[in-house]
């Protein structure tokens, strides 16, 4: 039995209570035969079943449903991605503390909720469900959580679930932001640090940049605009690429290594478009191939390339990338923390790397800023993004059997 628990801490009321944390840039779950394939929903279709009750006492059920659909649209409307998150038939009743249990994983490998055909979105109007499920008092800290379930060895999600704490939501905008973040996790997106201050403490998490500079998938929910950040768009496009993505974007990829050429894992890498100022991020060796690999789908343009280490507060429920599950994980061990560095090739000063639509540019980026880059390459997709790949048929046929070894990912958001 394998359980993958990856939580996130989000503070959607950061502005009111002082920030708390929310996990991007890359995939949240790696699985598949070699354990380095991002897990996603086959065909990009996700349909969810909504609660019949209230999310907030000041909203009707219909108004809450409408806000959820507005959040779904943020992801659905990305032209370079193929994700389709939709509202399906409602759950059979108002979900409350006395009847929620069958809908959520209970930690057992043969949990019937793993294969009930229902992907619930539960409205916890007073926090009582979160208190019951996560522990007394948790509703004062947890804004919501969401997850999808996958079968060990496959790279396809089976079902999802989300619990939203209406008790912690101050207004409709916060509902949309919380849902967008949690649904990001539900479809398999991780947190991202981007270029945000990597030394800030949790009490000032939203204080070092204007709110629009924070991605939806930043570990703290600092964004206030009801829109996606370019970093969010690149992340969902990489996990759910549109059929014509190669006609819309190019690829910047490479290897982050030390001065001796040894791979550096778990570093925070980001790029900045020199014309638009848009920024995008990914964690080095995000596919856990032990080679320092990174890859970003980007609009054509020139990009400076930067690296630093993760903020030491971004672990466990706030983890960024696959190497931050604990405070002593790879992202927090030597050679980390590394000195923040900008790619210079061999010039001694920052240089931009050109990315062209439909083509890849590949960079070897060393921790001292030196390196080499080559453009005009064929775009490479080292890991299948959707479906079960070559083992898809076998997985379907064996689904009932392998449910005994199912994995669970849980993303949780809370305010410290
Ligand atoms: Zn999160």
Same structural domain, 252 and 230: no
Mean pLDDT of 244-258: 97
With respect to residue 284, please indicate whether it lies within any of the assigned structural domains: yes
Same structural domain, 147 and 248: no
Q: 402 pLDDT exceeds 50? A: no
Give the distance (Å) from ligand 1 centre to CA of residue 378.
Answer: 33
Q: Is 353 helix (H, G, I), strand (E, B) or coil?
A: strand
CATH classification at residue 266: 2.60.40.10
**What are the DSSP calls for 181-228, one per residue?**
HHHHHHTTB----TTS-SS--GGGTTSSS-GGGS-TTSSS----SSS-
Give the distance (Å) from ligand 1 centre to CA of residue 218.
Answer: 7
Give the distance (Å) from ligand 1 centre to CA of residue 184.
Answer: 8
With respect to residue 105, please indicate whether it lies within any of the assigned structural domains: yes
- Distances in Å between the Cα of 74 and the Cα atoms of 11, 40, 200, 415 are 20, 18, 28, 24
CATH classification at residue 69: 3.40.390.10
Q: For position 406, what pLDDT does the model report? A: 27
Closest CA to 365 of 279, 295, 273: 295
Task: For the chain, give the mean pLDDT.
Answer: 83
Give the distance (Å) from ligand 1 centre to CA of residue 268.
Answer: 17
With respect to residue 70, please indicate whether it lies within any of the assigned structural domains: yes
Work out the burial of residue 62: count CB atoms within 10 Å of its CB; fewer than 13 is exposed, 13-18 middle, 19 or more buried.
exposed
Lowest-confidence pick of 6-15, 232-241, 315-324: 6-15
Same structural domain, 78 and 121: yes
Same structural domain, 125 and 192: yes
Residue 153's CB is within 10 A of a number of other CB atoms, namely 19
Q: How crowded is the C-beta side of 244, counted as CA atoms within 13 Å?
A: 4
With respect to residue 44, please indicate whether it lies within any of the assigned structural domains: yes
167: DSSP letter: G
Distance of CA 369 to the CA centre of its chain: 28
Q: For position 383, what pLDDT does the model report? A: 45
- Which protein residues have their CB within 5 A of the ion that is ligand 1? 8, 22-23
pLDDT tens-place string over residues 25-48:
688 888 777 778 898 998 899 999
Same structural domain, 286 and 147: no
Q: Using 50, 70 and 90 to split pLDDT, how confident is the model at 307?
A: very high
Same structural domain, 58 and 135: yes
Kindly give the pairing relationship between strand 406-408 and strand 142-151.
Answer: antiparallel
With respect to residue 4, please indicate whether it lies within any of the assigned structural domains: no
Give the distance (Å) from ligand 1 centre to CA of residue 170.
Answer: 18
Give the distance (Å) from ligand 1 centre to CA of residue 211.
Answer: 17
Give the distance (Å) from ligand 1 centre to CA of residue 272.
Answer: 23
With respect to residue 382, please indicate whether it lies within any of the assigned structural domains: no
For the chain, give the percent of residues with pLDDT over 90. Answer: 59
- Distances in Å between the Cα of 339 and the Cα atoms of 48, 188, 199, 346 are 44, 30, 12, 18
Same structural domain, 155 and 262: no
Q: For position 144, what pLDDT does the model report? A: 82
104: DSSP letter: S
Same structural domain, 225 and 342: no
Give the distance (Å) from ligand 1 centre to CA of residue 335.
Answer: 26
Mean pLDDT of 11-23: 26
Lowest-confidence pick of 17-31, 126-140, 188-202: 17-31
Kindly give the pairing relationship between strand 301-308 and strand 353-355.
Answer: antiparallel
Q: 115 pLDDT exceeds 90? A: no
Mean pLDDT of 138-161: 82
Give the distance (Å) from ligand 1 centre to CA of residue 93.
Answer: 28
Kindly give the pairing relationship between strand 301-308 and strand 341-342.
Answer: antiparallel
Give the distance (Å) from ligand 1 centre to CA of residue 24.
Answer: 9
Give the distance (Å) from ligand 1 centre to CA of residue 191.
Answer: 6
Mean pLDDT of 240-257: 96
Same structural domain, 34 and 49: yes
Same structural domain, 302 and 225: no
Torsion of CA 186, 192, 196, 197, to 10 degrees: 110
Mean pLDDT of 174-194: 91
With respect to residue 193, please indicate whether it lies within any of the assigned structural domains: yes
Q: For the chain, what is the domain count?
A: 2
Give the distance (Å) from ligand 1 centre to CA of residue 358.
Answer: 31
Same structural domain, 224 and 125: yes
Q: 22 pLDDT exceeds 60? A: no
Q: Would you tell me the crossing angle of helices 230-239 and 172-186 to the nearest 10 degrees?
A: 30
Same structural domain, 231 and 252: no
Q: For position 25, what pLDDT does the model report? A: 67
Q: For position 10, what pLDDT does the model report? A: 34
With respect to residue 407, please indicate whether it lies within any of the assigned structural domains: yes
For the chain, give the percent of residues with pLDDT over 70. Answer: 83
Give the distance (Å) from ligand 1 centre to CA of residue 51.
Answer: 22
Q: For position 233, what pLDDT does the model report? A: 97
Please give the residue range of the domain that contains residue 80.
Answer: 14-235+400-414
């Amino acid at each position: 039995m394998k359980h993958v628990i990856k939580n996130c801490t989000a503070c959607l009321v950061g502005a009111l209570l002082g920030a708390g944390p929310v996990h991007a840039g890359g995939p949240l779950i790696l699985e598949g035969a070699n354990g380095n394939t991002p897990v996603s929903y086959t065909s990009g279709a996700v349909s969810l079943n909504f609660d019949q009750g209230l999310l907030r006492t000041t909203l009707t059920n219909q108004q809450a449903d409408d806000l959820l659909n507005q959040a779904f649209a943020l992801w659905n409307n990305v032209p370079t991605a193929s994700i389709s998150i939709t509202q399906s038939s409602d759950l059979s009743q108002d979900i409350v503390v006395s009847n929620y249990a069958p809908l959520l994983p209970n930690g057992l490998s043969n949990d019937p909720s793993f294969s009930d055909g229902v992907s619930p979105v539960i409205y916890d109007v007073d926090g009582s469900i979160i208190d019951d499920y996560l522990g007394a008092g948790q509703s004062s800290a947890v804004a919501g959580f969401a997850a999808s379930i996958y079968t060990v060895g496959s790279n396809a999600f089976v079902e999802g679930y989300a619990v939203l704490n209406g008790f912690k939501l101050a207004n409709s905008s916060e509902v949309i932001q919380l849902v967008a973040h949690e649904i990001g996790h539900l479809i398999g997106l991780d947190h991202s640090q981007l270029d945000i201050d990597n030394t800030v403490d949790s009490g000032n998490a939203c204080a070092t940049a204007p709110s629009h500079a924070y991605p939806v998938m930043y570990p703290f929910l600092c964004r206030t605009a009801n829109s996606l950040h370019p970093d969010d768009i690149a992340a969902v496009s990489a996990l759910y690429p549109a059929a014509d993505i190669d006609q819309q974007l190019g690829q910047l990829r490479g290897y982050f290594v030390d001065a001796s050429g040894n791979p550096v894992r778990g570093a925070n890498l980001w790029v900045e478009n020199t014309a638009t100022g848009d920024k995008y991020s990914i964690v080095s060796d995000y596919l856990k191939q032990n080679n320092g690999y990174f890859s970003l789908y980007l609009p054509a343009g020139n990009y400076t390339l930067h690296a630093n280490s993760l903020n030491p507060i971004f672990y466990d429920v706030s983890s960024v990338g696959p190497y931050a599950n604990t405070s002593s994980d790879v992202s927090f061990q030597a050679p980390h923390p590394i000195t923040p560095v900008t790619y210079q090739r061999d010039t001694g000063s920052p240089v931009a790397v050109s990315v062209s639509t439909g083509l890849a540019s590949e960079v070897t980026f060393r921790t001292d800023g030196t390196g080499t880059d080559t453009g005009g390459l064929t775009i490479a997709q080292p890991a299948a993004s959707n479906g079960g790949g070559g083992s898809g048929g076998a997985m379907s046929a064996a689904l009932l059997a392998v449910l005994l070894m199912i994995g669970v990912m849980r993303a949780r958001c809370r305010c410290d």
